[in-house]
Structure 1
């Protein structure tokens, strides 16, 4: 019984490794003629990678829940969880951003002058994710809230980008074709992961509205935004999460700061 949470954690890692395979085996790009010019899009395997990141996130939630339920939490499980998370929510998002940057450069006139140096900033995401997870394992203040944005939130956000490119809700795909917007997203995400800002944890210790109204508000915003914004709901909820955490810091973070 005590190995069940570890098996779930390894399933998280399996999803991340499989997502990497999908990204590596995807064709360079798909170019479609829309009547006036060619539009470059990411191929289908990138979307499967996005789905696997979401599945990894669901498993990541349940491995900790099962460990607490069975009362088999261990230091091994904690370390194993971070190792799995750095792949699923660090390396995979970094590779997705690498592909998005490359697709964006394919649409520029000087596409043949683009080097891997131009695309390398995408790899800062796994580097900062690894640093954040190492700090998380050592920081005892993060039992009831997070310090900095957790890596699964970053993973979900980046995983939504290929799907936004595919379905283009509210013409957001246009922004993800801009290399400077992508660079900006990379650096903001890296900063948020290692920042000292306290962030809301969705772990409910009780269901008191007074103690949990930011959590309830975030859940309500999520449920409302999904049918209205579809895949654009992910960046909306991410922005709402960060904004709400900064506006209403968790109570215990004020005492510990």
Structure 2
């Protein structure tokens, strides 16, 4: 269910981007990141981890962190280059799909220590954040980051896995970061910039906090 929620966030993000609500589209990608961070561990906690779930997770990642960010970048900047801009924007999900396929066939032992290339989740999230604060960031910088993320995803560069970072430290950083994003949504929502999105983000964040609390308790009892 969490994976399907992640996939739905990607679909909604594309819809918001197409109607010019770019900040809402970026926020939905970040919400998808939050759900993506929960689904695998939650499935293992509930003992419902399966091969079907892994395939659905990859499909959701392509949509939410590949297709949705590329649409977002196209509608906010690349659209002015016409078909060329659309063609360039379309490269991002292609590189991301290759990155996911390569990861899926790699050995599980390797993935515990490091990632080969930047994960599509991180790449898509970075583009979403750049778009969220696009009025303060030059478009040329976003273009450079977009191009860099495409090549870094398919590169052979070894990226240290966040699984090696102790969970309380890393989890706290992620929780605080998502809380700050939620606060921005709330502030902007009072000004009418994020209509109804606060009602979606708030319960999801509460569910994420509950998940963190339950996971922390289960680790202490192990």
Under a length normalisation based on structure 2, what TM-score does the superposition of the two structures give?
A: 0.70
User: How do 1:135-154 and structure 2 match up within 5 A?
Assistant: 135-140=102-107, 141-154=110-123
CA distance in 1, matches of 2:128, 2:26: 4
Query: After TM superposition, where is structure 1 displaced by more than 4 Å over at least 4 residues in a row?
Result: 204-207, 215-220
Distance 1:72 1:144, change over 3 A: farther
The question of whether the paired residues in 1 share the 8 Å contact of 2:10 and 2:32 is answered with yes
CA distance in 2, matches of 1:9, 1:119: 28
The aligned counterpart of 1:184 is: 144
Structure 1 or 2: more helix by fraction: 2
The question of whether the paired residues in 1 share the 8 Å contact of 2:95 and 2:150 is answered with yes
Distance 1:155 1:116, change over 3 A: same
Distance 1:191 1:71, change over 3 A: same
CA distance in 2, matches of 1:159, 1:203: 23
User: What are structure 2's unaligned runs of at least 5 residues?
Assistant: 185-222
The question of whether the paired residues in 2 share the 8 Å contact of 1:101 and 1:119 is answered with no
Greater Rg, structure 1 or structure 2? 1
The question of whether the paired residues in 2 share the 8 Å contact of 1:124 and 1:186 is answered with no
Give the CA deviation at 1:201: 1.7
Under a length normalisation based on structure 1, what TM-score does the superposition of the two structures give?
A: 0.62
User: What are structure 1's unaligned runs of at least 5 residues?
Assistant: 1-6, 27-44, 106-113, 208-214, 232-257
Q: How big is the alpha-carbon RMSD for the aligned residues of Structure 1 and Structure 2?
A: 2.9
The question of whether the paired residues in 1 share the 8 Å contact of 2:14 and 2:72 is answered with no
User: How do 1:38-77 and structure 2 match up within 5 A?
Assistant: 45-77=21-53
Which of these residues, 13, 17, 34, is aligned with residue 19 of structure 1? 13
CA distance in 1, matches of 2:24, 2:170: 31
CA distance in 1, matches of 2:148, 2:32: 23
Distance 1:11 1:217, change over 3 A: closer
2:90 aligns to what SS in structure 1? Answer: helix
CA distance in 2, matches of 1:115, 1:13: 28
Which of these residues, 60, 82, 90, is aligned with residue 115 of structure 1? 82
The aligned counterpart of 1:199 is: 159
Give the CA deviation at 1:163: 2.0
CA distance in 2, matches of 1:218, 1:69: 16
1:99 equivalent to 2:59? Answer no
The aligned counterpart of 1:134 is: 101
CA offsets 1:60-86 (integer angstroms, 9 cap, x no match): 111111112122221111111000000
The question of whether the paired residues in 2 share the 8 Å contact of 1:15 and 1:52 is answered with yes
CA distance in 1, matches of 2:165, 2:146: 33
Give the CA deviation at 1:57: 0.6
Aligned length: 179
Give the CA deviation at 1:183: 3.7
